[in-house]
Structure 1
């Protein structure tokens, strides 16, 4: 018995020292929940898997939710907060009205609160759910450090800083650069569009009265342009998959962009611009490279302006500030 007691003491000391070596006790680290909620990873994985079995399209939604959260005010689950009579929150911005998957986060949070009340933040759930969505869709598995706290601010006006689908390559490089990303990281994160769809409202401007010289965006393949026109015939809410494998995480998105079949202007500009064309070609040719660089960029994105310690809180309900 003494042998196992000594082992336990040494194990706990290693965990504490690990936290100290990473900086403050509240700093992000891989083993953040190992003592307080060791089932956290499993609960989130099982919840995501269960929902994706019913609706595979949610994989794209969970990855997009993580991006839209982190890009505004950092990775603090501010995108989950509901609006009130005194405040219109991020989720009600036009840029976020098409976000889905809130029920996945709610279900994971409910189970975590039953097992480990007040321990696992909504911000960590969002980040871990995106990681698991990528994996269950056929992409790489990557581990992420945990310990994010939930923010207390969520305002519609902040979403003006999200990248617009009308941005060209130079504008995208500048926008992502302001958040600390390189041009290559911007391109590889754009590869998340290997999952999901775009609504006609986001790309219909490419199909008529495009600019003073062209009625239709000249970077669109003619046949694909007809496909987009047919899609938009059903209205602004009609959906067009980003590539031919909308629920599979692969490098087909980059092949589509090579064929001048990028759905959004911000997709096709990656190939139209000499500054990023070579990166598109590399990822279209080498899926393993895309997977490696994507997981590295996602880990980096998950560290954007995180709240730690007293800077944030652990919400009891992801939709409401405590």
Structure 2
């Protein structure tokens, strides 16, 4: 796992550097030293720090709840409540996202265990895509970030719910085999070993696990927040306003730009709303929704994690489904709403 995290970090850094180079080449005035004025540097620092300070409390709250659930709530407790009906199963997965606010970092390993213990794949995937979005913490963060446009917060929840239902029904209809890389036999032996190692652990052991998991996850998500805040501030301050408006007001280009932006940044869903809100004056509301829904469902970090758990073909299929469904639903919402 540490190797995977390190590789993910390096890829994100390289992607950000590449994007910055492209932005520099596309903006001639960035090649001049006159760009590095005191006013622009001060604006960059102000925007960078403001995004961090607004997002950190929500990340901390999400990390604490995630660690609490992972340490004290067993997978068997959740599995006992899984309905047999597919529609009820999808709704159940969405409700889980509301009751158990977890980011994809802690969710994917838990979902792997749930699938191996009997949870249907389509319910597990719906839980993966809705859990980071449809929960009170993310709603509060989004509402706070878009105080002057609260419809964004409500639309984010509704759009994520609609996308999850569509993806869940498609997977229920077409995915019948186990998409996990690990076999049930290997899982059974691994589970027995873990049970033997943790046998006799009391409250102090669980509390230690809780704090270790919380600190690791906070710093893991925090570095992606720093990268995202840095890149957002750079684009907002140093990129030509005309170029940003040309992309942001395009009916299709704005959505694709925001999907690529969300994928590269790999932000936590408790903080991405503060990054998106800084683009309100440049991008359409529909493209901001695309950013807010697509990013938590599929980004670079979660892709690496899913590839370590699921087979490559399944990850590719799920990625295409998320991309098409989010884009289509977002365009429809933008077309028929009063944003």
Shorter chain as normaliser: what TM range?
under 0.3
TM-score between the two structures when normalised by the length of structure 1: 0.25
User: Structure 1 or 2: larger helix share?
Assistant: 2
TM-score between the two structures when normalised by the length of structure 2: 0.24
